[in-house]
Structure 1
Amino acid sequence: AVRARGRRSPMMTAILERLSTLSLSGPQLSRLPRLLEDGFPKMPCTVPEGEVPQLFREPYIHAGYRPTGQDWRYYFLSLFQKHNEVVNVWTHLLAALAVLLRFKAFVEGEPLALDAWSLPLLIFVLSSVTYLTCSLLAHLLQSKSELYHYTFYFVDYVGVSTYQYGSALAHFYYSSDQAWYDKFWLFFLPAAAFCGWLSCAGCCYAKYRYRRPYPIMRKMCQVIPAGLAFILDISPVAHRVVVCHLGGCEEDAAWYHTYQILFFLI
């Protein structure tokens, strides 16, 4: 039995022989990073803040800006370059992948049909990926020119408002209790749609209207509509969490939502 366990099958022997022909020597491995680097097109170096228009400059960031006026391929490939936006780009990209993987795992455990029960969840996931994708593109491509800077950030704000409404829809159908639903079902979703539009309009107006150094009015145009949208959209969850805590429940989900609300406010 021991000899049988140690005996290799003809297929395994053939695979090992094939792999042995693909092995790399030490000198070849040392040249691999250079070969990979040479395989990519040459990327322009990042530039200091003095070489980009005022619109692209950020406080306390004095270097690492991508030059304007390059072709689109450069900005897409800058996904793999170190620059001032690389953290923003990758955090949104990884978050979008995490949402899709989590949804895939959920669907594999709970098969979904396209019906009234699952549709709010599908819309919520779609709105989440839309928001993250729009933000990813804004941070990745906005350095092309001033026109594209405004264009992609306006698209980003549309994505944010889409996510706000998708969250409101999911909270309304999955998180509200019957008492809350009976009181607010008539106007909650129309109000959420209006707050999403107001948030998008306020951010677009503030982005286009004000220049550095930004006045406090710019922040108010962005924060107040977004804050109103958050208060409305989270109200079904907040009501249920408060009722749960007052009733002495011990559901883990109640604490998760409590922490989520606190972290957003912080």
Structure 2
Amino acid sequence: MGPCALPGVVQWMADGMRIQQTVPAEDTQLLFREPGVLTGFRPEGKSWSHYLLSVGQVHNESVNIWSHLLGFCVILCTMHRYLTVDIGYDNSHWFVVFAFGICCLIYTGTSTFAHTFHSKSALLHYTCFQIDYIGIGYFSLGFAIITFHCSCHRHCNLFSEYFFLTANVLLSWVGFFCSSVAKLRYSRPYPLRRKLWNVCSFGSQGLVVFGLVMFRHRDCWFDDFCSMSSLNHHTSVFITAFISIFFFSSHFPERFFPGRFDIVGQGHQIFHLLCVTGTLLEFKAAYVDLIANDNGRLETGKFQPDTSAIFGAMIAYGILSLGTLVLLSPYTKRKIQQDLQISDKCQ
């Protein structure tokens, strides 16, 4: 970096320390508003650096940004620990844990990006959250991969590994596609149907994956030599997932106490924290099962992973989703024009 660039860097840092002004809900587009949130919105139309520097500012997206930004760092450290320090299971399964970790880094990274930059413009708002849905699909795919190879019921070998991977690539894409279509189809204030598109699409995949472990709960219920507490590591993942769905869908508590949780305490912020918590619990659940299986205390499917098939599934989902994102771009632009026409009629 030459000396001529130093003044620009100093100015950029000075801008970052300057308090950015936020605007109330009535001074921002309907597109950017959230139920029960009345203040703390970032104005649209600013520079990229403005929104990047807003990461260090206080506004109604601050917790959403930092919860997944810090979550990204925590997951990265957790990956390192389970792949190095705590490794004690069959080393052929290291790629499964690695693949799940990469998927988790993608979903926290895309979420951080979306909540940081979506306020810049209407086009970027729709695009950012479509990218965010791709990240959620990656998490769903990674969750399926690690559950199938580490924790599923021993009778699940009736399913072909390739069939299971292919099916979950498609289910992840369906979740992304349904969420993107719902975002484009409905306008704020969003009806309950829009949330159902999100929850039912990704939720159906979650039920399929949870089913791989639920058979173990069923067997343990009827086995006198099995204690249900031996499955607590999976039960905690289930409970965390269902609670997170509640906060994602309900906008509780801000919907019922408008203005009280504009900066901290929104339901989506709680949802973010629960997502990271559930991710860490799933790392532990897979680790516990792999250790128990190696020690002969647990008989799960524990299929030998095909690293090329897993890697191929992750790449295939990414190509499929990004291709769909490009195909949806004309509909996104059309939606923006419709929003502008509605706004002009209301004025």
TM-score category (smaller protein) = 0.7 to 0.9
Contact 1:43 1:74 in 2 (8 A): no
Name the counterpart of 1:255. 232
| C-alpha contact 2:22 2:43 (8 A) present in aligned 1 | yes
Letter in 2 for 1:130: I
User: What are the superposed Cα offsets for residues 4-24 of structure 1, whole Å, 9 maximum, x if unpaired?
Assistant: xxxxxxxxxxxxxxxxxxxxx
Match of 1:34 in 2: none
The equivalent residue for 1:171 is 147
| CA distance in structure 2 between the aligned counterparts of 1:181 and 1:102, rounded to whole angstroms | 29
Q: Deviations over 1:74-100 (max 9, x none)?
A: 111111111011111111112111111
Does the C-alpha gap of structure 1 residues 253 and 103 become closer, same or farther in structure 2, counting only changes over 3 Å? farther
| More displaced stretch, 180-189 vs 117-126 | 180-189
Change (3 A) 1:45 1:39: closer
Distance 1:252 1:93, change over 3 A: farther
Deviation at 1:133, TM superposition (A): 0.5
Percent identical across equivalent pairs? 31
Q: Which runs of 5+ in 1 are unaligned?
A: 1-36
1:165 aligns to what SS in structure 2?
A: helix
- TM-score where L is the length of structure 2: 0.61
Q: TM-score, normalised by structure 1?
A: 0.78
Deviation at 1:245?
4.2
| Larger Rg computed on CA atoms | 1
The 2-side partners of 1:216 and 1:79 are apart by 31
What whole-Å deviation, never above 9, does each CA across 1:129-188 have from its counterpart, x for those lacking one? 000000111111101101110111000000000110111011111112321223464632
Task: Report the RMSD for the aligned CA atoms in angstroms.
Answer: 2.3
Note if contact 1:241-1:258 (Cα within 8 Å) is conserved in structure 2: no
Give yes or no for contact 1:47–1:67 (8 Å, CA) kept in 2: yes
Q: Does 1:154 align with 2:109?
A: no
Is 1:133 the counterpart of 2:115? The answer is no
Instruction: Pick the aligned partner of 2:219 from 236, 243, 246.
Output: 243
Higher relative contact order (CA 8 A, sep 6+): 2
**Cα distance in 1 between the residues matched to 2:235 and 2:87:** 29
Of residues 198, 221, 239 in structure 1, which corresponds to 2:197?
221
Q: Paired residue for 2:57, among 62, 65, 81?
A: 81
The offset of 1:207, in angstroms, is 0.7
What is the aligned counterpart of 2:96 among 120, 124, 127? 120
Quick check: 1:230 aligned with 2:198? no
Name the counterpart of 1:22. Answer: none
Aligned residues: 229
